A and B are shown apart, each in its own frame.
Chain A
Amino acid sequence: MSRSSRGRFAVVLLAAVYASAVLAGFLAPYDPVEQNRLLAFAPPTRLHLVDDSGRLHLRPFVYALVPRPGTFDVYDEDRSRPYPIRLFPNGASYRLAALIPGDRHLFGVDEPARLFLMGSDEYGRDLFSRLIHGTQISPVAGLLAACLAVSVGLVIGGVAGFYGSVTDQVLMRVAELVMAVPWLYLLLALRAALPLALEPIHAFLLVVVVIGVVGWARPARLVRSVVLSARTRDYVLAARSFGASDARVLRRHVLPEALGVALTQLALLVPQCILAEVTLSFFGLGVGEPLPSWGNMLAGVQRFHVLASYWWMFLPGLALVPLFLIYYAVTDVLHRRLVLRSP
Chain B
Amino acid sequence: MTRYLVTRAVHSCLLFVAVSALLFLFTELVPGDFLEELRLSPAISASALNTLRERYGLDAPLTVRYWRWIQSVVRGEFGFSLLYERPVGPLLRERAANTLLLTVTATVVAWCLAVPIGAWSAGRRGRLTDRATGVVVTALLALPDLLLALGLLLIAVRVGGLPVGGMTSPQYSTFGALHKAEDVLVHLLLPACALCLAILPTLVRHVRATLVETLDAPFIQAAKAIGVGDRRLIYRHALRAAANPLTSLLGLSVASLLSASMTIEAVMSWPGLGPLLLTAIQARDIHLIVGVALASTCFLLAGNLLADGLLYLADPRARTESR
Q: Enumerate 10 A-B pairs (CB-CB under 8 Å) in ascending A order.
A: A180-B19, A182-B281, A182-B296, A185-B26, A221-B307, A225-B318, A307-B150, A308-B157, A314-B151, A317-B144
Interchain CA distance A186-B278 in the complex, whole Å: 13
In the complex, A177 has a CB within 8 A of chain B? yes
Chain A interface helix/strand/loop/mixed: helix
Number of A-B contacts (CB under 8 A): 149
- Per-residue interface assignment for chain B, residues 307 to 323, with 1 indicating a CB less than 8 Å from any chain A CB and 0 otherwise: 10001000101101011
A176 with B29: CB separation less than 8 A: no
Q: Closest CB-CB distance, A114 to chain B, in whole Å?
A: 26
In the complex, A173 has a CB within 8 A of chain B? yes
The 5 closest A-B pairs by CB, nearest first: A324-B142, A189-B29, A180-B297, A229-B318, A225-B248
Residues of B within 8 A of A268 (CB): 141, 202
In the complex, A275 has a CB within 8 A of chain B? yes
Residues of A within 8 A of B281 (CB): 182, 184-185, 188, 283
B318 with A228: CB separation less than 8 A: yes
Q: Closest CB-CB distance, B47 to chain A, in whole Å?
A: 27
- Per-residue interface assignment for chain B, residues 279 to 323, with 1 indicating a CB less than 8 Å from any chain A CB and 0 otherwise: 001100000010011101100110010010001000101101011
Residues of B within 8 A of A168 (CB): 320
Residues of B within 8 A of A322 (CB): 142
* CB-contacts of A307-340 with B (<8 A): 307-308, 314, 317-318, 320-325, 328
Give A residues with C-beta under 8 Å from B.
164-165, 168-169, 172-173, 176-177, 179-182, 184-186, 188-189, 192-193, 218, 221-222, 225-226, 228-229, 232-233, 260-261, 264, 268, 271, 275, 278-279, 283, 298, 301-302, 304, 307-308, 314, 317-318, 320-325, 328
A226 with B317: CB separation less than 8 A: no
Whose C-beta in chain B lies nearest to the C-beta of A329?
A: B138
Number of B residues whose C-beta is below 8 Å from A?
61
Chain B interface helix/strand/loop/mixed: helix
Residues of B within 8 A of A261 (CB): 245
In the complex, B209 has a CB within 8 A of chain A? yes
12 new A-B contacts, CB < 8 A, other than A172-B304, A221-B304, are: A165-B322, A176-B300, A179-B300, A181-B22, A225-B318, A229-B318, A232-B317, A275-B144, A302-B150, A307-B157, A308-B157, A325-B138
Q: Closest CB-CB distance, B254 to chain A, in whole Å?
A: 13
Whose C-beta in chain B lies nearest to the C-beta of A299?
A: B146
* CB-contacts of B11-41 with A (<8 A): 11, 14-15, 18-19, 22-23, 26, 29-31
Given A180-B19, A185-B289, CB of A225 within 8 Å of CB of B26: no
Residues of A within 8 A of B142 (CB): 271, 320-325, 328
B323 interface neighbour in A164, A180, A302, Cβ under 8 Å:
A164
Interchain CA distance A321-B141 in the complex, whole Å: 8
Interchain CA distance A325-B143 in the complex, whole Å: 10
Residues of A within 8 A of B147 (CB): 298, 301, 314, 317-318
Residues of A within 8 A of B315 (CB): 229
Residues of B within 8 A of A283 (CB): 281-282
Q: Closest CB-CB distance, B306 to chain A, in whole Å?
A: 12
A189 interface neighbour in B26, B206, B244, B263, Cβ under 8 Å:
B26
Given A176-B304, A181-B22, CB of A278 within 8 Å of CB of B146: yes
